[in-house]
Amino acid sequence: MSLRDRKVIVTGGPTREWIDPVRYISNASSGKMGAALADAAHERSAETVFIHGPVDGSIIAGRPYRTVAVESTEDLLDAVMGELRGGAVLIMAAAPADYRPAERSGLKIKKKSDELRIDLVKNPDILKTVASRKAADPSLEGIFVVGFAAETHDVEAYALTKLKEKDLDMICLNDVAKEGAGFSTDTNIVVVFTRGGGRLDFPLMTKKELAAGILDKIEDELGTRNQ
């Protein structure tokens, strides 16, 4: 089933959690996979929005669809919730920071003792929030939710657990320990698992090729859902 009449929301890149005015916690996500997915979605869908954390300007420059810049995981959650509507496809390729400093210092933390401890608190899980909102809000009927799992060990078990716990329609497993897969590369190796127990292995390929393959799979799944 074509994505032509569906809004596609793609997230990508890291988030940033400030410790003080000059330091933050983040991760190595480049936003390349998200941008490739948004590019591919734009070719098929009437409405694509790419919500991204702090990424290199080249990732979003000249993109022919709407881009929304966010900084923290809480900002990303608000932006995703603001864009969601019934029947939308949400592809969460972003790597949100799971924790943020319990307190953000307004002043630069000065170097004093030999050890420094920063208390962190858990950020909201965006996909779990989407799952509970979807269950409670009939206006979100028909949304199709795709997650990513970046893993280094026990990769399939973790991906399948996330598929279930985050109530996803599909999960794209990314074994970041493999050569050619992962954050800053232009290539990736992904295995897709679906809600219905399906599995699709993509060998090493460019993120652009992979994005097209993932969107083909989403269209297939939407087709079987409507039969």
* Contact residues: ligand CTP, CB under 6 A: 73, 92, 94-96, 98, 123, 125-127, 147-150, 162
Structure tokens at 117: 């401890």
CB of 94 to ligand CTP, least distance (A): 5
The whole-angstrom separation of Cα 74 and Cα 100 is: 10
The whole-angstrom separation of Cα 222 and Cα 2 is: 8
Q: How many CB atoms lie within 10 A of CB 84?
A: 19
Looking at beta carbons only, is 42 or 162 nearer to ligand CTP?
162
Looking at beta carbons only, is 148 or 193 nearer to ligand CTP?
148
* Residue 27 falls in the annotated catalytic set: yes
Give the CB-side neighbour count of residue 84, counting CA atoms within 13 A.
Answer: 26
Which candidate in 27, 123, 174, 226 is catalytic? Answer: 27
Looking at beta carbons only, is 19 or 168 nearer to ligand CTP?
168
Structure tokens at 85: 């509507």
Phi/psi for 133 (5° steps) reads -65, -40
CB of 33 to ligand CTP, least distance (A): 11
CB of 123 to ligand CTP, least distance (A): 5
Residue type at 4 in one-letter notation: R
Which H or E run contains 152? Answer: none
The whole-angstrom separation of Cα 75 and Cα 81 is: 10
CB of 151 to ligand CTP, least distance (A): 7
Residue nearest to ligand CTP (CB): 126
CB of 11 to ligand CTP, least distance (A): 6
Contact 203, 181 (CB under 8 A): no
Alpha carbon of residue 95 to chain centroid: 6
Looking at beta carbons only, is 115 or 154 nearer to ligand CTP?
154
Helix and strand element counts for the chain (H, E): 6, 12
Looking at beta carbons only, is 126 or 210 nearer to ligand CTP?
126
Catalytic residue numbers, as ranges: 27
